[in-house]
């Protein structure tokens, strides 16, 4: 994508277009993101929304617009949405591209993995704060624009279909991952209790979606509100935990590098508890389930995409989806082993 195209998109927003520096961001498997940098004023984040994944951009943006006022709080500093010159929340170009502009929180940074105890605690605190602020929102007013996004039943069905359609070569390559997925799906499917209340969830609470202040290292907010939909707290909990306690990236090839840092886990749960009571008894009981479910679910989705021929996630090398599934499955197995420990910590801080 050329800079001229980006500048043409920016013309539709109330921001200067001259003398900008356009920096593509490589993070994320779905959208394309660019930092629009100015010499003497704050930067912006421009994103092209992937309309293959987000077929209903209107609904996605409606959820975001509805949620943003809840997230305006003195101790929560998130990006603001910049409306187009026509007053719409995003721009639709003639060729069907959808673009959104947000302010870039100054002096902030995000990290791929947790670097110390303080960061782990801050990650827990900001997750709690996000849910505290969003607890006033009614889940029924938010659209489920990707139905069953974190439903294991649905992801398992999609995996079963992918196995039928996969080439023999891909199936052979993924043999070990497929076997693990089949066994684990069965045991996790018997766990979920439908009486857990729905909340408006973030649904992508990994470390790299938390903004920290560069100076003090305080967590400022959760970014990437693309998957803000009704969901369960244990999913947001498990998704954050898997990246807070494990220093290895999602596509780590050396499975020995995947680990579960107990001290970070405790700091994370303690940080979560610091925002005050938030969770119901059933929600608390489901947290260890969430800790296993989320890495497994992401691994299952990556494996499904590998079997389908890499049609969903943007892969940066041929076997990346398979590597992601193996690494995520390894972490899911570790989270299962750590269940007694996790229960103890949850009891200590949230019980």
Positions touching ligand GN1 (CB under 6 A) are 28-30, 53, 204, 224, 227, 250, 298
Helix 262-273 × helix 339-350 angle, to 10°: 30
**CB atoms near residue 85 (< 10 Å):** 11
Largest CA distance in the chain: 58
Which of 79-87, 190-198, 203-211, 342-350 is the region at the interface with Mg ion (rule: CB under 5 A)? 203-211
- CA 229: distance to chain centroid? 12
What's the closest the beta carbon of residue 117 comes to Mg ion, in angstroms? 26
Which of 36-44, 128-136, 204-212, 230-238 is the region at the interface with Mg ion (rule: CB under 5 A)? 204-212
What's the closest the beta carbon of residue 309 comes to ligand GN1, in angstroms? 17
For position 250 contacting Mg ion by CB under 5 A, the verdict is no
Please give the Cα distance from 260 to 228 (Å, whole number). 27
What's the closest the beta carbon of residue 29 comes to ligand GN1, in angstroms? 4
Which of 95-103, 143-151, 196-204, 266-274 is the region at the interface with Mg ion (rule: CB under 5 A)? 196-204
Characterize 309-340 residue by residue with b for buried, 16 or more Cβ atoms within 10 angstroms of its Cβ, and e for exposed. ebebbebeeebbbbbbbbbbbbbbbbbbebee
Residue number, nearest CB to ligand GN1: 30
Please give the Cα distance from 230 to 199 (Å, whole number). 5
Kindly list the distances between the CA atom of residue 351 and the CA atoms of 3, 316, 348, in Å, as whole numbers in the listed order. 53, 43, 6
97 makes contact, choosing from ligand GN1, Mg ion, none, with CB < 5 to 8 Å by partner type, with none
Residue with tokens 């999609």: 158
Binding residues among 206-245 for Mg ion as defined by CB under 5 A: 224, 226
Residue with tokens 């041929």: 318
**Smaller CB separation from ligand GN1, 204 or 283:** 204
59 makes contact, choosing from Mg ion, ligand GN1, none, with CB < 5 to 8 Å by partner type, with none
266 makes contact, choosing from Mg ion, ligand GN1, none, with CB < 5 to 8 Å by partner type, with none
338 makes contact, choosing from ligand GN1, Mg ion, none, with CB < 5 to 8 Å by partner type, with none
Beta pairing partners, 81: 102
What's the closest the beta carbon of residue 225 comes to Mg ion, in angstroms? 9
> What is the dihedral angle through the alpha carbons of 286, 292, 293, 298, rounded to the nearest 10 degrees?
150
**Smaller CB separation from Mg ion, 35 or 53:** 53
Q: Which of 50, 64, 163, 204 binds Mg ion (CB under 5 A)?
A: 204
Please give the Cα distance from 167 to 62 (Å, whole number). 39
Residue number, nearest CB to Mg ion: 204
Which residues contact residue 46 at a Cβ distance below 8 angstroms, ignoring those fewer than 6 apart? 6, 9, 10, 33, 34, 35, 36, 99, 100, 101
Kindly list the distances between the CA atom of residue 238 and the CA atoms of 16, 35, 127, 168, 247, in Å, as whole numbers in the listed order. 41, 29, 11, 33, 15
**Smaller CB separation from Mg ion, 185 or 244:** 244
298 makes contact, choosing from Mg ion, ligand GN1, none, with CB < 5 to 8 Å by partner type, with ligand GN1
Which residues contact residue 265 at a Cβ distance below 8 angstroms, ignoring those fewer than 6 apart? 120, 241, 244, 245, 338, 341, 342, 345
**Smaller CB separation from Mg ion, 224 or 236:** 224
What's the closest the beta carbon of residue 205 comes to ligand GN1, in angstroms? 9
53 makes contact, choosing from Mg ion, ligand GN1, none, with CB < 5 to 8 Å by partner type, with ligand GN1
Which of 69-77, 79-87, 197-205, 280-288 is the region at the interface with Mg ion (rule: CB under 5 A)? 197-205
Q: Which residues bind Mg ion (CB under 5 A)?
A: 204, 224, 226
């Amino acid at each position: 994508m050329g800079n001229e195209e980006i500048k043409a998109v920016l013309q539709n927003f109330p921001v200067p277009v001259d003398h900008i520096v356009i920096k593509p961001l490589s993070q994320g498997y779905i959208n394309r993101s660019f930092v629009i940098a100015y010499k003497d004023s704050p930067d912006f984040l421009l994103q092209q929304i992937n309309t293959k994944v987000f077929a209903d951009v209107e609904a996605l943006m409606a959820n975001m617009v509805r949620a943003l006022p809840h997230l305006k709080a003195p101790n929560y500093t998130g990006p603001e949405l910049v409306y187009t010159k026509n007053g719409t929340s995003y721009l639709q170009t003639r060729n069907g591209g959808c673009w959104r502009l947000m302010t870039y929180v100054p002096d902030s940074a995000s990290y791929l993995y947790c670097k110390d105890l303080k960061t782990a605690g801050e990650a827990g605190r900001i997750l709690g704060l996000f849910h505290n602020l969003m607890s006033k929102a009614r889940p029924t007013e938010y659209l489920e624009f990707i139905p069953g996004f974190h439903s294991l039943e649905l992801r398992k069905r999609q995996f079963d279909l992918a196995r039928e359609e996969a080439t023999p070569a891909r199936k052979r390559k993924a043999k070990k991952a497929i076997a693990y997925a089949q066994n684990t799906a069965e045991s996790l499917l018997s766990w979920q209790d439908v009486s857990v209340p729905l909340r408006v969830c973030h649904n992508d609470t990994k470390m790299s979606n938390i903004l920290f202040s560069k100076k003090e290292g305080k967590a400022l907010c959760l970014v990437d509100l693309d998957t803000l939909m009704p969901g369960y707290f244990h999913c947001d909990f498990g998704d954050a935990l898997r990246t807070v306690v494990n220093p290895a990236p999602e596509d780590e090839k050396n499975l020995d590098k995947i680990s579960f840092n107990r001290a970070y886990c405790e700091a994370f749960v303690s940080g979560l508890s610091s925002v005050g009571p938030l969770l119901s008894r059933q929600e608390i009981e489901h947290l260890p389930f969430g800790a296993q479910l989320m890495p497994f679910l992401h691994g299952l989705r990556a494996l499904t995409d590998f079997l389908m021929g890499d049609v969903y996630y943007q892969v940066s090398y041929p076997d990346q989806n398979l590597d992601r599934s193996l690494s995520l499955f390894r972490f899911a197995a570790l989270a299962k082993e750590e269940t007694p420990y996790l229960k103890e910590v949850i009891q200590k801080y949230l019980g």
